Amino acid sequence: MPYITVGKENRTNIDIYYEDHGSGKPIILIHGYPLSGASWEKQMPVLLNAGYRVITYDRRGFGKSSQPTAGYNYDTFAADLREVITQLKLQDVTLVGFSMGGGEIARYFGKYGSKDMSKAVFIGAVPPFLLKTADNPEGVDGSVFEGIKKAVAADRYAFFTEFFKNFYNTDLYLGKRVSDDVVRASWNVAAGSSATASLACVPTWLEDFRENLKRVDVPTLVIHGDDDRIVPLSAAGQRTARLVKGAKLVVIKGGPHCITWTHADEVNTALLNFLKG
């Protein structure tokens, strides 16, 4: 299996698992919590058929990547992404990030700028700043995230069961836009993640990306569901679209958090139109 070594923990390599398919302009798909690069299966064939080179990778601690006990912060996540781009010698890259993956994009631009970047796409993504503070009244109260941390620490498997209900809005879409089997498969991937990563990633959702977004100077698309119960549209997507100059916002009506599955056709249409534009 293909791996990129991004560091060491003691004498053990920290390896990032990736897949690299197709040819043409490269697109890197960055997954959300608590899944892996395999979660892009509704987008991968569409992008390949449209003539793009598509790269996915598993964030450290998740999927088939190494599970170290350190490095669960966005500076490190962005550095891992940098290694993927550098070692694969990619240029003219489009970054597409779902949920947590949007944080990698924002921090990448904040740290490394737009060299070799072509376009950026944020899907249900955590930027610009989810935590409610005096200068960020649109954010979410910190007690919500404290509750999540406690739930993950107490029994992450039970937490995942509840989490995926709101991930897919199963009360509305189970048996219609998402099956029991998909939810179970997602739970299985989540259960295989590092226990350390499952907990350590939660505080990263509260990172302030507002200054990072000011450095995003490539064509940008923001896609967000208006019924997202994990990362609310008003706290995230709408504001990211305002902060990135010239960004286009596409709101998926009735869309939950994981619109990449439940509303894949709408997401893929918006994505392809943007890439071709």
The candidate with the shortest Cα–Cα distance to 186, out of 269, 62, 101, 48, is 62
The full set of domain ranges for the chain reads 3-276
pLDDT values of the chain reduced to their tens digit, one per residue, 277 residues:
799 999 999 999 999 999 999 999 999 999 999 999 999 999 999 999 999 999 999 999 999 999 999 999 999 999 999 999 999 999 999 999 999 999 999 999 999 999 999 999 999 999 999 999 999 998 989 999 999 999 999 999 999 999 999 999 999 999 999 999 999 999 999 999 999 999 999 999 999 999 999 999 999 999 999 999 999 999 999 999 999 999 999 999 999 999 999 999 999 999 999 999 8
| Alpha helical stretches, state H, the chain | 44-49, 74-87, 100-112, 142-168, 170-173, 180-191, 195-200, 210-213, 237-243, 259-262, 264-276
Instruction: Give every CB contact of residue 212 below 8 A, 6+ residues apart in sequence.
Output: 106, 107, 109, 110, 111, 127
Active site residues: 99, 228, 257
CA–CA gap between residue 170 and residue 165 (Å, rounded): 5
CATH architecture of 3-276: 3-Layer(aba) Sandwich (3.40)
Closest among 193, 36, 30 to 107, alpha carbons compared: 30
